[in-house]
C-alpha cells in the first residue's frame, strides 16, 4: 500500500481531527529546516497544494508567533506552560555549577496515549514525538536565559521534567566530574583503594578499631579528599589502570581516573588541588591531572599495560654467577596458575604471560636485585619463588635454590 502524500495526510488530519498548530506541524516535523512545529502547522493550513518542499520560511505567515494556537485534545495545555516548566528547570539548577545540560520529558499519560492513537491512524512518516518537541523548546528557553548550552553527548546535568498528573517536578541526573591523572605510591603499607575489614566487612569491630577498614588509608583516600571538598561531591570512585600489591611501591606513574559523584561545583583548579595532595602526604604523588570523560575511565581499566619491576631477592643458599645466568631462561612465554595468595578472589585457571626482559645484579652472597619487564597480568613474586610449581618456568627452579621476593617496586607502566 502506497503511503499518502503530504497533502493527503494534511487534508485527512484537518478534516478528521481538531489539531492545534503545534500538533499539526509535528506530523511534518522532518520536513524543512529552521522552522518550529507551530510554523509548519501554519504552513500546512495556508498552502493548499502542500508538498514536501512547502515547509520553508517564506511560506510562514507574517506575525506567525501571534497567530498560532496551541492546546488541543492531543497535547492538552503543555505548550501553554512552557515558561512554567522552563523556570522549574532553571530553579533546579540553582545549586550547581554547569556549562552543559540536557532536558528529558515525561509527558502527561493522556497526551502519550492520544499521540499513539494519532500515529496508529495516520502513520509516523515525517513525525516527531511530542516529548522531543517539548525538550527542544524548553532547552532553547533555558539557553536564552542562562549561559549554558544543550549537549547531547556529555551534558553536565540532565533535567527530567515530569509533567504527569500530580507530579509537576524536575528530577536531576547529575553526571560525574571525571579527572584523569597518574600516581606514584611511596608506601608499602597502603592498598590502591579502601579495603573493608575482613572480619566485620566495613561495619566496624574491635579488630579494625571500629573504622571498618583493613588499612588506615589508601591511594584513593590520599588523593580524593581535596577533590571531594572543592567539588562538594557526595563521594568519589577510583578507577585505576591496574594495581600494585599493598607492599609494593610504584614509581611508574600509574594511570587513574577519579570520578566525583553528583558534584555541586565543576570549575575546579586542578593544579592547586594536585599541589595540595602532593604537599599533604608522603605516601602518594600525583601527576598530569586533567579533566576527562567516562570513556577514559573504561579505557584505562580495560587496557592491559605492560610493566617493569625491580625486585630485591633473597635465596636460601648461595648462588653462583653461573647459576644466575639461568635466570634469562624465563624470557618468553610462561604459564601461571592462579597464585594461592589470590585464589580466594580470582578464578582458578592457567594464564600465559610473556616476560620480555630480565637482568640482575648481585647484592650479597644470598641476594640479588632483579629487573623484569613483562606483560600485563604477570605475577612477579610467583615468577621468583615458583608458588610450589604453579608458575613455570620460575627463577627458584632455574637457579637451583629457593628464592623469595623481599621487596617489589613498579618502575615503569606502559601508557
Supply the residues annotated as catalytic.
245
* Strand bridging mode 332-337 / 248-261: unpaired
Q: How large is the C-alpha radius of gyration of the chain?
A: 32
Nearest to 220 by CA among 235, 208, 198, 206: 235
Strand partners, 104: 160
Considering only CA atoms, which of 211, 125, 106 is closest in space to residue 168?
A: 106
**DSSP H helical ranges for 161-259:** 219-231
DSSP string for residues in 264-314? S-----HHHHHHHHHHH-SSEEEEEEEEE-HHHHHHHHH----EEEEEEEE
What cell does 223 get? 588523593
Interaxial angle between packed helices 109-122 and 6-16, expressed in degrees from 0 to 180 and rounded to the nearest 10:
130
- The answer to whether residues 240 and 401 touch, using CB atoms and an 8 Å cutoff, is no
Q: How many CA atoms lie within 13 A of 214 on its CB side?
A: 14
Q: CA separation (Å) from 220 to 48, 177, 183, 283? A: 68, 16, 10, 11
Dist. CA 309–CA 356, nearest whole Å: 12
DSSP 208: T
Peptide bond into 275 cis (omega under 30): no
| Assigned C-alpha cell, 108 | 502527561
What's the CA gap between 356 and 377, in Å, rounded?
13
DSSP, collapsed to helix, strand or coil, labels residue 87 as helix
- Does residue 100 sit in helix, strand or coil? strand
Amino acid at each position: 500500500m502506497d503511503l499518502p502524500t503530504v497533502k493527503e495526510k494534511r487534508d485527512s488530519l484537518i478534516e478528521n481531527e481538531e489539531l492545534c498548530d503545534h500538533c499539526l506541524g509535528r506530523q511534518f516535523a522532518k520536513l524543512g529546516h529552521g522552522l518550529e512545529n507551530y510554523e509548519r502547522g501554519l504552513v500546512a493550513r495556508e498552502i493548499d497544494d502542500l508538498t514536501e518542499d512547502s515547509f520553508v520560511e517564506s511560506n510562514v505567515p507574517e506575525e506567525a508567533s501571534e497567530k498560532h494556537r496551541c492546546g488541543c485534545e492531543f497535547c492538552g495545555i503543555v505548550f501553554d506552560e512552557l515558561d512554567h516548566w522552563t523556570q522549574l528547570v532553571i530553579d533546579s539548577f540553582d545549586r550547581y555549577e554547569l556549562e552543559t545540560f540536557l532536558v528529558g520529558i515525561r509527558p502527561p499519560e493522556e497526551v502519550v496515549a492520544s499521540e499513539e492513537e494519532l500515529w496508529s491512524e495516520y502513520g509516523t512518516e515525517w513525525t516527531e514525538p511530542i516529548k522531543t518537541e517539548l525538550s527542544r523548546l524548553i532547552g532553547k528557553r533555558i539557553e536564552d536565559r542562562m549561559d549554558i548550552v544543550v549537549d547531547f553527548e556529555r551534558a553536565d546535568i540532565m533535567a527530567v521534567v515530569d509533567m504527569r498528573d500530580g507530579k509537576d517536578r524536575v528530577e536531576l541526573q547529575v553526571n560525574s566530574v571525571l579527572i584523569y591523572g597518574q600516581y606514584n605510591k611511596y608506601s608499602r603499607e597502603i592498598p590502591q583503594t579502601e579495603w573493608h575489614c575482613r572480619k566485620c566487612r566495613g561495619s566496624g569491630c574491635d579488630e579494625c578499631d571500629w573504622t571498618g577498614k583493613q588499612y588506615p588509608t589508601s591511594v584513593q583516600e590520599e588523593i580524593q579528599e581535596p577533590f571531594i571538598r572543592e567539588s562538594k561531591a557526595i563521594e568519589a570512585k577510583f578507577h585505576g589502570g591496574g594495581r600494585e600489591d599493598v607492599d609494593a611501591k610504584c614509581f611508574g606513574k600509574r594511570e587513574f581516573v577519579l570520578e566525583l559523584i553528583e558534584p555541586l561545583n565543576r570549575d575546579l583548579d586542578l593544579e592547586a588541588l594536585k599541589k595540595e595532595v602532593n604537599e599533604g602526604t608522603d605516601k602518594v604523588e600525583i601527576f598530569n591531572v586533567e579533566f576527562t570523560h567516562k570513556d577514559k575511565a573504561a579505557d584505562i581499566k580495560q587496557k592491559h599495560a605492560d610493566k617493569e619491576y625491580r625486585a630485591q631477592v633473597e635465596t636460601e643458599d648461595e648462588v653462583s654467577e653461573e647459576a644466575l645466568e639461568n635466570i634469562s631462561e624465563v624470557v618468553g612465554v610462561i604459564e601461571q596458575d592462579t597464585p594461592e595468595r589470590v585464589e580466594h578472589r580470582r578464578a582458578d585457571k592457567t594464564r600465559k604471560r610473556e616476560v620480555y626482559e630480565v637482568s640482575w645484579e648481585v647484592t650479597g652472597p644470598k641476594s640479588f636485585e632483579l629487573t623484569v619487564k613483562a606483560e600485563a597480568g604477570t605475577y612477579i613474586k610467583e615468577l621468583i619463588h615458583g608458588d610450589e610449581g604453579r608458575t613455570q618456568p620460575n627463577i627458584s627452579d632455574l637457579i637451583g635454590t629457593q628464592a623469595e621476593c623481599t621487596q617489589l617496586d613498579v618502575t615503569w607502566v606502559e601508557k
